[in-house]
A and B are shown apart, each in its own frame.
Chain A
Amino acid sequence: MSNVTQGAVLGKDDPVLRTDGLKKSFGGLTATDDVSFEVERGTITGLIGPNGAGKSTLFNLVSGFYEPDEGSVSVNGTDVTDHEPHEIVGEGMVRTFQTPRKPEGMSVREAMLVGPQGQTGESILPLFTSSSTVRREERQSLERAEEMLERFEIADLATQSATDLSGGQMKLVELARAMMSDPDLLLLDEPVAGVNPVLAQKLAGFIEELHAEGQSFLIIEHDMSFIMRLADPIIVLNQGSVLVEGPPDAVRSDDRVVDAYLGGPA
């Protein structure tokens, strides 16, 4: 149990994400209290903690959806504190949401095409002056989307309306779409919440595959078997602060973590 650290492990070799003293309050409630942690490049880092520990708030802070009261965030060594969400994506970090966001009225492959960054056809002028570039990029994106959907074994859904997908299928599409934007670090907020166990196993397999290819992840998850299988290290958040960080087996049996989950004194 000696390899579980009180608070987060700092000073990692090559952190893709680093926060320093992040703080966020909503009225009288401090949701995030002085959080400093690092995500090492090439890892699947787990972020766990009881309900209301502040995990999603932390995601919102680092991805630019909330402005921190104090503290800073950097991605790939660039300070992105107070940057807009889209700018942070530009630095290489993409997040998903805890509640799946269904793009109503879009087909699955159309939704996938929103993922790629810096598309020429997202500006108006090139639509008239460089239509061949736009077409070439669209073809490439479509091809990639197809590959990605095949990889996640949902190629048959490509032209289906996203509105008709099941919750589990939507989770797969979200992961596939996020991958379309070539992130350095992918933040997943409860990727298997509400997903049946078979599909959850499948999803874990896909994440392992991507990880083996070098993709870095930061994953929030309540499903312990899922996160213990995938993540190393695991950071435990409790009442807005980092409680401990360590390898999965050690964290699971750590008294402080058990206490936190049982609602005992931290």
Chain B
Amino acid sequence: MSTASLTDRIGSFSRGEQVATAGVGLLAAVLLVGVVVGWITVTYLLYLVALAGMYVLLSMGLNVQWGYGGLINFSVAAFFGVGAYGSALLTADSSPVAGGFSPVVGLVAGLLVAAVLAVIIGIPTLQLRDDYLAIASLGLAEVVRMIVLNEREITAGSAGLTGIPLFFADWPVLGSLEYPFVLYVGDTALFTMERSLLIAELNVLLVVVFIAVVYLFLRRIHLSPWGRVLRTIRTDEDLAKSLGKDTYRFKMQAFVIGSVIMALAGVFYTHLVLYLNPQDLAPVLTFYVWIAVILGGSGSDRGAIFGGFTIIALQQGTRFLNAAGTIPVDPAALRLMIVGVLIIAIVRVRQEGILPPEKELIWPGSTEGSADE
């Protein structure tokens, strides 16, 4: 394979991989042109990439639940919100409860609370048929949003939380850098950078690290006996039970892991935008993440990543078209229409999504012929 030329390799791609590659290539080209021509600044572009990274995390989280195990969770926004508010309330200056902690503390707290909440929701629902989780999670999403909106003395309500620190604000060196940041070699300034650009770069770096860690973790648990049992549960839970699997335990683990990843996305978001209000927990977020997972390919980790980026492309693309005055339509309405068309297209032509999941969930290096992998 190493000697194969690039075109050969692309030729050996599946159709989905070709579509995905073409899509990503096209998007990158448009953005590059956009930057060169001056439609968007590099800083804003990086901000969008970071935001896409947040969607990637959310999609990977939902993929563990729906894609691996067939769990229907309609409260993506709630777990996202628990992570976002959990971290914000511990770190923000304006926090009505206990601001001022390091974002790392906020991160740990946000993830823990999400895990506990997932267990609490999971205990009564995961022992029952699939639909119970779906219904309960619909309720949960609203409950979390209402609590955030109404418990003002805890969450600041609709006023929102301000003064949230950057994730790396208190890190050595990074936290104390002066801006604009200038790199000297001897007396000559080699390189100057605006604060906002540096921050945008660091945020992208941060989300890339989060995604990489999550992705490697998920690859390991997915291509394994554990992932295989979940796949069995997804197609037929009774079958898994009849083969001696404690399906409740597997479903609970998948539900908690997925929810914690969603909360991680929330923590990242908080320290990206530095301002949080209950609007951020609107149900439409859940909707978009579902689209991302289904579009990318339910059960596919790569698909979740692709889907996450697609959502941002879709959101920003419609906004951009509107700003450019090319279409006389409200971008929000247009967006929903495109999403609708996309869903119909997937269901009709490619139910398995653009990048369908791994053919076999077997521990890498166990099958003959895979020893060289």
Task: Tell me the A residues contacting B by CB distance below 8 Å.
Answer: 63-65, 84-86, 89-90, 94-97, 101-107, 109-111, 113-115, 117, 119-124, 127-128, 131, 134-135, 137-139, 142, 159, 177-178, 181
Contact = CB atoms under 8 A, between A and B. Distances in A.
Contact of A84 (B246, B365, B366): B246
Interface string B345-373: 00000000000010111110111000000
Given A86-B244, A106-B231, A110-B362, A101 B238 contact: yes
Given A97-B239, A122-B245, 17 more contacts: A65-B238, A65-B242, A86-B246, A101-B235, A106-B235, A109-B360, A110-B361, A110-B362, A113-B225, A119-B225, A123-B226, A124-B226, A127-B224, A131-B363, A134-B224, A138-B366, A181-B244
Contacts of A97: 238-239, 242
Contacts of A120: 225
Contact of B243 (A89, A110, A128, A137): A89
A86 B238 contact: no
Interface size class of B (residues with CB under 8 A): 20 to 34
Interface in B230-253: 231-232, 235-236, 238-247, 250, 253
A85 B360 contact: no
B220 interface: yes
B226 A127 contact: yes
29 contacts: A64-B241, A85-B238, A85-B242, A86-B245, A86-B246, A94-B244, A96-B242, A97-B242, A101-B239, A102-B236, A103-B232, A103-B235, A105-B357, A106-B361, A107-B360, A109-B360, A113-B362, A114-B232, A114-B240, A119-B225, A121-B224, A121-B226, A122-B225, A124-B226, A134-B225, A135-B363, A137-B225, A138-B225, A139-B366
A139 B232 CA distance: 20
B323 interface: no
B243 A142 contact: no
Contacts of A90: 244
Contact of A115 (B226, B231, B243): B243
Contact of A113 (B228, B240, B250, B357): B228
Contacts of B246: 84, 86
B296 to A, nearest CB: 16
Contacts of A111: 232
A177 B366 contact: no
Contacts of A95: 242
Given A124-B226, A142-B366, A105 B244 contact: no
Nearest to B245: A86
A121 B250 CA distance: 12
A101 to B, nearest CB: 4
Enumerate the 8 nearest inter-chain pairs by beta-carbon distance, A residue then B residue, closest first: A89-B244, A121-B225, A138-B366, A85-B241, A101-B239, A138-B363, A119-B225, A110-B360
B221 interface: yes
B243 A103 contact: no
Given A103-B235, A142-B362, A110 B244 contact: no
A124 to B, nearest CB: 6
B104 to A, nearest CB: 22
B229 interface: yes
A219 B226 CA distance: 31
Contacts of B225: 113, 119-122, 134, 137-138
A81 to B, nearest CB: 17
B64 to A, nearest CB: 12
A44 B226 CA distance: 34
Nearest to A111: B232
Nearest to A63: B242
B241 A86 contact: yes
B68 to A, nearest CB: 12
Contacts of B221: 124, 127
B285 to A, nearest CB: 28
A63 B229 CA distance: 19
A114 B242 contact: no
